[in-house]
Amino acid sequence: MVVLSKPAIEQFYATQTSQPSIFFTGVPLIDLSKPDSKNLLVKACEEFGFFKVVNHGVPTEFITKLETEAVKFFSLPLSEKEKTGPPNPFGYGSKSIGSSGDVGWIEYLLLTTNPEFSYQRFASIFGEDPEIFRCAVNDYVSAVKKMACEIVELLADGLKIQPRNVFSKLLMDEQSDSVFRLNHYPPCPELQDDDMNDPNMIGFGEHTDPQIISVLRSNNTSGLQINLRDGNWISIPPDQNSFFINVGDSLQVMTNGKFKSVRHRVLANSSKSRVSMIYFGGPPLSELIAPLPSIMEGEDSLYKEFTWFEYKKSAFKSRLADNRLGLFEKIAAS
Ligand code: GA4
């Protein structure tokens, strides 16, 4: 159990009495309907790279419709699900994550958010009408992307960056290289406390997200943990009515390290199934990822210049737990 200093907690933490007390309940909480949220958002991104959002405006109907479709998909026989795979770059994957040997107690579906993506591969498994699945994904992703844009515009305001769409225009760009992921963590009955350090018992190993911003929604099953600056892991109580937001590596670079991408992981659960859906908002492949001039105030860039394509290429060759930004950091002059 981690205890944060009191002044930090008082800034923006809400204690939820319904959460089990074994969980740390001090998640930075942002109410998007409150006009003063921009300063709290900036603070959450600087201190944690992570926060929870309520009053987000994403219709509940879109969330439940997609969750129903996801559960339906993951309940299909393996041979059927595999018809949409392998997951490189888009499709179904099981246990194996990425292409460098990482494994987890998970099955998932990786999709592009590009509306042109052909759902033909789903035709055979969704019967006559893969349209239902396609619509559920599109409705959900459009609504979540709108919320993500609102958040990054508030962040630009909070950082006093002009124009306020510097980040959101990248997510809205037709060429935006954004990804959508449906995860299913089946219950892992053999799980014992002692196994927690066994990588095979980890649902999804520790990592930071390479993109700008990630928007996560899960059912009410625990598992998500974030790594604090002091190295401690804290459990994030699940909340199916809220969204959890991660700062990604690209936003860390664009803010010259003022915002930190958050290291996070998902632990396997012994009895309950966890279903999560994550939108990873990324820039177009050709976009130069560099600190925004207006944020620098005379300071030097901490990073070498690179395009999203270059970063993505190097990221997809890495192991999950690697410090991917390390390769792109400037070595400080002695
Ligand atoms: C982490 C964030 C997203 O889930 C993802 C992941 C991707 C994958 O699952 O194929 C990666 C991982 C993620 C970062 C490093 C590489 C690539 C697995 C992996 C080992 C889809 C992404 O964009 O980067």
- How far apart (Å, rounded) are the C-alpha atoms in residues 124 and 105? 26
pLDDT at 192: 58
| Averaged confidence pLDDT in the chain | 88
Band the pLDDT of 9: cuts 50, 70, 90: very low
The pTM assigned to this predicted structure is: 0.90
Of the candidates 134, 181, 274, 324, the residue annotated as catalytic is 274
Instruction: Give distance in angstroms: CA of 111 to centre of ligand 1.
Output: 12
pLDDT digits (tens, 9 = 90+) for 259-312: 999 999 999 998 999 999 999 999 999 999 999 999 998 899 999 999 999 999
pLDDT score for 2: 32
Domain boundaries, the chain: 6-328
* Annotation says 229 is catalytic: no
State in words which class domain 6-328 has.
Answer: mainly beta
Q: Is the CB of 100 inside a 6 Å radius of any atom of ligand 1?
A: yes
How far, in Å, is the centroid of ligand 1 from the Cα of 238? 22
- pLDDT tens column, 78-89: 999 998 888 888
Reported as a single tens digit per residue, the pLDDT across 124-178 is 777 666 788 889 999 999 999 999 999 999 999 999 999 999 999 999 999 999 9
Which tokens go with 93? 């994957």
Residue 334 confidence (pLDDT) above 70: no
Query: What does the alpha-carbon distance between residue 298 and residue 300 come to, in Å, rounded to a whole number?
Result: 7
CA distance 85 to 138: 20
- What DSSP letter does each residue of 125-180 carry, written as one string? TSTT-THHHHHHHHHHHHHHHHHHHHHHHHHHHHTT-SSTTTTHHHHHSTTB--EE
- Give yes or no for residue 100 having a pLDDT over 90: yes
Ligand 1 site, residue 207, Cβ cutoff 6 A: yes
Q: Does residue 98 line the site of ligand 1, with CB under 6 A?
A: yes
